[in-house]
Structure 1
Amino acid sequence: MIRSIIKNQECFSIVQGLPEPGQDHNLVWLEVHTPTVEEGTILQQRFGIETAKKNSNVVEDGQFLYMRSRLLALDDNGAPHFGGVTFALGEQLVAIICDDANFQSFDIALQRLRRKPANGQSPKAIMRSLLQIANDRADELVDQIAEELEKRAEDISEISDGYNANGMELGVPDLIETMRALNAKEELIALCIETQLSLARTVRYLSSEIDSTNEADLQGLVNELAFDVAGVKEHAYFEHQKVQYLQKSVTNILNIKQNQIVKVFTIITAVFLPPTLVGTFYGMNFAVMPELSWEHGFVYSMGLTLSAAVLPLIYIKRKGWLR
């Protein structure tokens, strides 16, 4: 699928497919999604654009500079979607070659170009706007993850206390569910970091193509973009460390709760083991057992059994093992 963006004076318009040959000089931006063999041949013959996947992240063939990145897009529901994108930067136009037909990351870029036509004065300026969109998407996702981690931290605190705000008892199953959610967030934030590293490399190569003397304003914007990308990357690193901290917290709480469960069973065993031993003695088939003929033999045996249970419990409590 091919979509063309044509510039007439200060107005940008979209053409589905390729424009008429007479409008090639007005073409400033091509968006190509999973091109077919036929589409790739047409792009090569008409514009000199190679759509085949490159062996390197950066390739130059004399007409275009190809820069491959792994970028982020958000669907209408805010769900993240990652995809491989190759930017083909030329003197007259910039092309975006996406590996995924469903990767729609740059729709808002056209709105920004229409609002600020100065950002579309050259292919380099347009590419700078496209990279800015990709960075904004990553920043938005990292902010969402940060908010969700705050909620998870509150959940962990409630689970640690044993009850939620409604008085419902919380335990090990809730910890396991929280751990699964944190594992998913860790994977997602790791992909965000990978995206920012790839984006930073692309911005660096774009900066090297700009003439700092004749394109000083654009150079300043690209430098600002580089700082923004680095800032989002640092934010993603921070959230990644926070995820790891919360994972360790959940693991520690889980270990404590499991140890408490084991401690309860251990105390129960310690309390009931002596009475079991007393009952075992009276279950033996001895010929002479004086207590059987005593008037209060039954009461004596029950008292002995009860004492065998209470005395270990008192000892355990004084030692502080019940805390």
Structure 2
Amino acid sequence: MLTTYTVENGHLLVREGPQDAASLQRAVWIDLLTPTQAEEAQVQDALRLEIPTREEMQEIESSSRLYKEGDVLFLTAPFLYGVEGGELGSTAITFVLGNTALVTVRYATPKAFAVFSARCQRAPAIMLGTPDGVMLHLFEQIVDRLADILERIAADMDRASQAAFRTAKAKVKATRKDADLKDALITLGQVGEVTTRATETLLGLSRILTFLTAEKAVAVRRENQALIKSLVRDVRSLVEHANFLNGKANFLLDAVLGIINVEQNAIIKTFTVASVALMPPTLIASIYGMNFARMPELQWDLGYPMALGLMVISAVLPIVYFRRKGWL
């Protein structure tokens, strides 16, 4: 889908669908979401530049993701999306920064894009003043969105860890304890997934900002250059916070797995004690189950009670011994 954002007389005009060359040339921001070949051709003919294909956007080499052709910068990085829906992932987004327009090429919709579009409608003169200003303000929205995501998963991780440790200390049913520990493992797994993809996004932004810093003399207007420094500081702090959360998640994951191992060891110990306690009675029962012709106890009136008593005593003695040793 082709969407253009144009500011005329202080008012924002948003157009969707096929457009003529004049409309594309007046636009400050051109957003291509899963573009067709016809839409790509319209933008390329109107702006006289080459739109990267989806295969080119997937390249991992820095030279393929960050480069300059004439006065146009081509900047590609992976971005996190789909956190709210539970089907999160990373998608490559390309920013084509020219002197007159910013072109974004994407195949998914991070929430930051929708929020930024709404902000543009409220303050078009500020958000859509210049192409480089549009891109930097969009980066600000992406960073703010990532900060909110990291804050939320940090709170989720704290709640999950507290519930897991509280359950481990309390004397509750095994089914409830297993459910709480399972929920903690799922939450910690989601935290690890989100922080990893968020860090990937932040590192991609960091590379773009480093490239912009080197090209800011010709690509970024003077009034917007302060935004780059602010974004660099914010991205650096979020990378450190994401790494901290990832390390904390790994620590808590080890702790929860340790709790699970302790619970499993207790169950195995119970089965081991039960099997050891039942071995002597089994031996006695096996002896009196033999089919010998001469067994004195078979003709004895107290033979049956005696055999049962021996079985009980032989089962109780190992348990008493284990308890005195502190094994139970």
| TM-score normalised by L of structure 2 | 0.85
Shift of 1:97: 0.9
Shift of 1:227: 1.0
1:38 alignment partner in structure 2: 38
Gaps spanning 5+ residues in structure 2: where? none
Q: Distance in 2 between matches of 1:161 and 1:274?
A: 36
AA in 2 matched with 1:161: K
1:160 alignment partner in structure 2: 168
Shift of 1:291: 3.3
Q: Distance in 2 between matches of 1:9 and 1:97?
A: 27
2:308 alignment partner in structure 1: 302
Q: Distance in 2 between matches of 1:28 and 1:316?
A: 80
Shift of 1:293: 4.4
RMSD of aligned Cα (Å): 2.8
Shift of 1:224: 0.8
Q: 1:271–1:309: 8 Å Cα contact kept in structure 2?
A: yes
Query: In terms of mean alpha carbon deviation, does 153-162 or 40-49 score higher?
Result: 153-162
Q: Distance in 2 between matches of 1:255 and 1:176?
A: 13
Pair 74,286 (structure 1): closer, same or farther in 2 beyond 3 Å: closer
AA in 2 matched with 1:310: V
Of residues 100, 116, 124 in structure 2, which corresponds to 1:109? 116
Q: Distance in 2 between matches of 1:75 and 1:20?
A: 36
Secondary structure of 1:106 counterpart? helix
Q: Distance in 2 between matches of 1:48 and 1:168?
A: 67
Secondary structure of 1:189 counterpart? helix
Query: In terms of mean alpha carbon deviation, does 84-93 or 70-79 score higher?
Result: 70-79
1:62 alignment partner in structure 2: 70
Shift of 1:26: 3.8
Pair 176,29 (structure 1): closer, same or farther in 2 beyond 3 Å: same
Q: Deviations over 1:19-66 (max 9, x none)?
A: 655555642111111222222222122102322334511121114110
Q: Deviations over 1:76-105 (max 9, x none)?
A: 7687553211000111111111133x5564
1:136 alignment partner in structure 2: 144
Of residues 273, 277, 300 in structure 2, which corresponds to 1:271? 277
Shift of 1:278: 1.6
Q: Distance in 2 between matches of 1:300 and 1:163?
A: 40
Q: Distance in 2 between matches of 1:207 and 1:297?
A: 97
2:93 alignment partner in structure 1: 85
Q: Deviations over 1:183-233 (max 9, x none)?
A: 333222211111111111112222333239x95542222111111112222
1:3-42 correspondence to structure 2 within 5 Å: 3-17=3-17, 21-22=21-22, 26-42=26-42
2:237 alignment partner in structure 1: 231
Q: 1:196–1:229: 8 Å Cα contact kept in structure 2?
A: yes
Secondary structure of 1:210 counterpart? helix
Pair 153,103 (structure 1): closer, same or farther in 2 beyond 3 Å: closer
Alignment of 1:321 with 2:308, yes or no, is no
Q: Distance in 1 between matches of 2:243 and 2:94?
A: 25
Pair 295,277 (structure 1): closer, same or farther in 2 beyond 3 Å: same
Q: 1:70–1:82: 8 Å Cα contact kept in structure 2?
A: yes
Q: 2:2–2:35: 8 Å Cα contact kept in structure 1?
A: yes
Q: 1:162–1:169: 8 Å Cα contact kept in structure 2?
A: no
Alignment of 1:290 with 2:312, yes or no, is no
Q: 2:97–2:132: 8 Å Cα contact kept in structure 1?
A: yes
Secondary structure of 2:67 counterpart? strand
2:227 alignment partner in structure 1: 221
AA in 1 matched with 2:268: V
Shift of 1:170: 2.5
2:104 alignment partner in structure 1: 96
Query: In terms of mean alpha carbon deviation, does 20-29 or 140-149 score higher?
Result: 20-29
Shift of 1:312: 0.9
Q: Which has the higher helix share?
A: 2
Secondary structure of 2:176 counterpart? coil
Q: Distance in 1 between matches of 2:303 and 2:17?
A: 102
1:199 alignment partner in structure 2: 205
Secondary structure of 2:228 counterpart? helix
Q: Deviations over 1:225-283 (max 9, x none)?
A: 11111222222212211221222122212221221111111100111111111222222
Secondary structure of 1:211 counterpart? helix
Pair 37,95 (structure 1): closer, same or farther in 2 beyond 3 Å: same
Pair 262,5 (structure 1): closer, same or farther in 2 beyond 3 Å: same
Gaps spanning 5+ residues in structure 1: where? none
Q: Distance in 1 between matches of 2:118 and 2:301?
A: 100
Q: Percent identity?
A: 28
2:318 alignment partner in structure 1: 312
